[in-house]
Structure 1
Amino acid sequence: MLLVLVIVEVKASSIDKERKGSCPMCHQWFMAFFILSEQGYCDLLVTTIVSENPPKYFLELGTSRRLPDVRVVRGQLNGVDITDLICDTNDEIEEFMRKFGCEDLLTWKESKSEQAVEDVFADLYRDFNGLLQTGNTGSVNKVLVNLDRFLQQKGTKFLLKDTFTYADCQLLPKLQHLRVAAKFYRDYEISPSLTHVWKYLQNCYQTEVFQKSVPCDQDIIKHYEMKVPGVKPTGSRNPNLMKETVTLDIPEEAASSFAGASAN
């Protein structure tokens, strides 16, 4: 029996239309459906859509034209033919994901642990945007300290398990945007003393699901170009002119700290 064939359509880069863009929600759903595919629940294709000039078929879908969206090309799920199913809101996509019954992708509706960890980082993206606007780091630091404490107490490779869960799919785009954009615009860095956050990032950076889904630094920087008051990147700091890179390194000070802890 053929697996359900799912297409996840994500926003294309505003710099290079051929590559995936920086949309955090697109990154989240790319990872979630990659996990479903990796575990044999579905076959997966990920395609990019240029929002300003979408292809004809996309305009004819009869949807809200919001991205990301998820489409089913073929297949049955729980005995029901879902060919041509289209989900184009976060709630619809989440409900569709739940129907696969993947234990690693339980939502807060099904898992108290999932709900508890989502509460830990619930304000991170809001506070990160506040940091870009004002330069105030206090709120972001508070969330990261709480996250570090949670990871220390949990003792797993990722947020809830030694495998990726839905919580990781939600947190990682936010953390990567914080790391890249806050450094570029506000010279902010996650403290090396938050060794459990850094160890978590190192574990995530080594996974195929993250490596295949993460946007490049330049697209993340471009994403916030108009959201930082008084900042007009020029010359070598213009994201349109930057060399394509992806930040996956760990600061030496942080790496030394958790390497030493492991040795002990």
Structure 2
Amino acid sequence: MSEPPKIELFVKASVDGESVGNCPFSQRLFMILWLKGVNFTLTTVDMKRAPDVLKALAPGSQPPFLLYNDDVKTDINKIEEFLEEKLAPPQYRKLCCRYKEANCVGEDIFRSFSGYIKNPIPGLNDRLEKKFLSKLVKLNMYLETPLPHELDQKPNATEYLRPYLDGDTLTLADCNLLPKLHIIKVVCKKYRNFDIPRELKGLTNYLDNSYKQDEFSYTCPKDSEILFAYQSVAKYLNK
């Protein structure tokens, strides 16, 4: 067995300068490393203090970035590809999806959410909410539509509720989407009193299953941290 790599993940710190801050990209990499089962060090970076570690290791960069042995990686997508290649079976779990659709489903939800939550005008709210809800419905339909291997296993089933995007285990696709869905859930409740409808069974089941996984639930920032990050951009509707 080869010598395990020395890995340090640098992520954005919270308001207190110590705990994990609101950053879906940081959480994405945190989840990947945890799911891989590799030993690594997590270092939070207080951006208000412009720490020397940034100047020394990744000048001009923002967290997250990765130190792999003595090699600094700053591009999130390339970090994901690098970790999947370097931390491979049989020693580490494979996390890539078997179905390419899993990688892009839900990719437009966050953009639609941003338009919805940043709008202060009551007259526009219904239209923006319907557009945002349509994106959630589309994701829900994907989660309720059987994948080829599920059809093979249960050809006569009338209802499919898949645990995760690509099947029965968390993958890179979940590491990308779940942190964004968590932000959406917290911010929409605060500023629009909007909850993801329980009628969307596929999506509800997906989130319920995901929150039971330590790799997701324990990497989420505190709700207060998310709301602090959004207080300058999210808008209450003007009466």
TM range (shorter): 0.7 to 0.9
Aligned residue for 2:21, secondary structure, equals: coil
| Partner of residue 204, structure 2 | 198
Q: Distance in 1 between matches of 2:210 and 2:83?
A: 21
Aligned residue for 1:173, secondary structure, equals: helix
Higher relative contact order structure (alpha carbons within 8 Å, sequence separation ≥ 6): 2
Distance verdict in 2 for CA 1:48–1:231, change over 3 Å: farther
| Cα distance, 1:58 vs structure 2 | 3.1
Structure 1 residues 134-153: aligned runs within 5 Å: 134=119, 135=125, 136-153=128-145
| Cα distance, 1:194 vs structure 2 | 0.7
Greater alpha carbon shift after TM alignment, 27-36 vs 83-92: 83-92
Kept in 2, the 8 Å contact 1:10–1:26? The answer is yes
Kept in 2, the 8 Å contact 1:124–1:140? The answer is yes
Query: Is it true that 1:127 corresponds to 2:133 in the alignment?
Result: no
| Cα distance, 1:175 vs structure 2 | 0.7
| Cα distance, 1:120 vs structure 2 | 2.2
The Cα offsets for residues 172-230 of structure 1, whole Å up to 9 and x where unpaired, read as 01111110001101111111111211111111111110122011101111111111246
| Partner of residue 97, structure 1 | 83
User: In the alignment, residue 70 of structure 2 is paired with which amino acid?
Assistant: D
| Partner of residue 14, structure 2 | 13
* Aligned pair partner of 2:229 in 223, 229, 232: 223
| Partner of residue 71, structure 2 | 85
What root-mean-square deviation, in Å, do the aligned CA atoms of Structure 1 and Structure 2 show?
Answer: 2.0
| Partner of residue 150, structure 2 | none
| Partner of residue 250, structure 1 | none
Q: Distance in 2 between matches of 1:171 and 1:91?
A: 14
Structure 2: any 5+ residue segments left out of the alignment?
Answer: 120-124, 147-160
Aligned residue for 2:102, secondary structure, equals: helix
Structure 1 residues 66-81: aligned runs within 5 Å: 66-72=62-68
| Partner of residue 30, structure 1 | 30
Aligned residue for 1:66, secondary structure, equals: coil
Aligned residues: 212
Q: Distance in 1 between matches of 2:218 and 2:75?
A: 23
| Partner of residue 149, structure 2 | none
TM-score, normalised with respect to structure 1: 0.74
Q: Distance in 2 between matches of 1:208 and 1:230?
A: 33
User: In the alignment, residue 7 of structure 1 is paired with which amino acid?
Assistant: E
Q: Distance in 2 between matches of 1:159 and 1:230?
A: 32
| Cα distance, 1:57 vs structure 2 | 3.1
The Cα offsets for residues 161-181 of structure 1, whole Å up to 9 and x where unpaired, read as 211100100110111111000
| Partner of residue 56, structure 1 | 52
Q: Distance in 1 between matches of 2:235 and 2:189?
A: 15
| Cα distance, 1:231 vs structure 2 | 7.5
Distance verdict in 2 for CA 1:4–1:231, change over 3 Å: farther
* Aligned pair partner of 1:44 in 35, 40, 54: 40
Distance verdict in 2 for CA 1:128–1:62, change over 3 Å: closer
* Aligned pair partner of 2:195 in 182, 189, 192: 189
Structure 1: any 5+ residue segments left out of the alignment?
Answer: 73-82, 233-264
| Cα distance, 1:64 vs structure 2 | 2.8
TM-score, normalised with respect to structure 2: 0.81
Aligned residue for 1:7, secondary structure, equals: strand
| Partner of residue 260, structure 1 | none
Distance verdict in 2 for CA 1:10–1:145, change over 3 Å: same
Aligned residue for 2:115, secondary structure, equals: helix
Aligned residue for 1:70, secondary structure, equals: strand
